[in-house]
Structure 1
């Protein structure tokens, strides 16, 4: 399971890096050919970066939602749920120990 997530992440990262490199190359060519001004280059570059960041946030949200749904479907629990259960077990063990100590003290 972990390997699948890692592979998916690396594929996404590779696609993002390649896309950025292509964008940089395209904008550089447009600038060199005089099809855009340096100001237009900066505006276009920053606009594309903002759109990329927005898509990244959207993708991250969707990925987390899919992962949460997968965990639910597989009946897995979160670290927070595990910690809460562990705390409850520890509390119950402490109570049981106190009760046992009271019982042995009265004997």
Structure 2
């Protein structure tokens, strides 16, 4: 499964790089041919970059959502869930140790029947 995720990530990254390179080449050609001004070039370039970043955020959100659904379907817990359980176990261990220490000190007091 790790290989599949890595391959998907690299595929997406490759597509993004290829798309940006094509966009740069296309805008450069339009600028050289005089179809757009340098100001229009900058505006168009920044607009396309912003749209790309927005799309990336959307894709990341959807990917995380799909991954969470897959993990839930496979009964795999998240790191956050693991950390929460680990914290609960530590808390319970501390409480148990305190109870055992209190019980031992009570048992060791003079005049108590052990």
Same fold (TM over 0.5): yes
**What is aligned with 2:46?**
46
Shift, 1:47, TM fit: 1.1
Aligned residues: 107
Give the unaligned 5+ runs of structure 2. Answer: 108-113
Following the alignment from structure 2 to structure 1, what is the Cα–Cα distance between the partners of residues 85 and 28?
56
- Residue 33 of structure 1 aligns with which residue? 33
* Aligned equivalents of 1:46, 1:65: Cα separation in 2: 29
Deviations 1:37-75 (A, max 9, x none): 111111111111111111011111111111111111111
Q: How many Å separate the matches in 1 of 2:40 and 2:101?
A: 79
Query: What 5-or-longer segments of structure 1 have no aligned partner?
Result: none
CA RMSD of aligned residues (A): 1.6
Q: Return the structure number with greater helix share.
A: 1
Residue in 2 aligned with 1:11? 11
C-alpha distance in 1, partners of 2:52/2:68? 24
TM-score by length of 1: 0.87
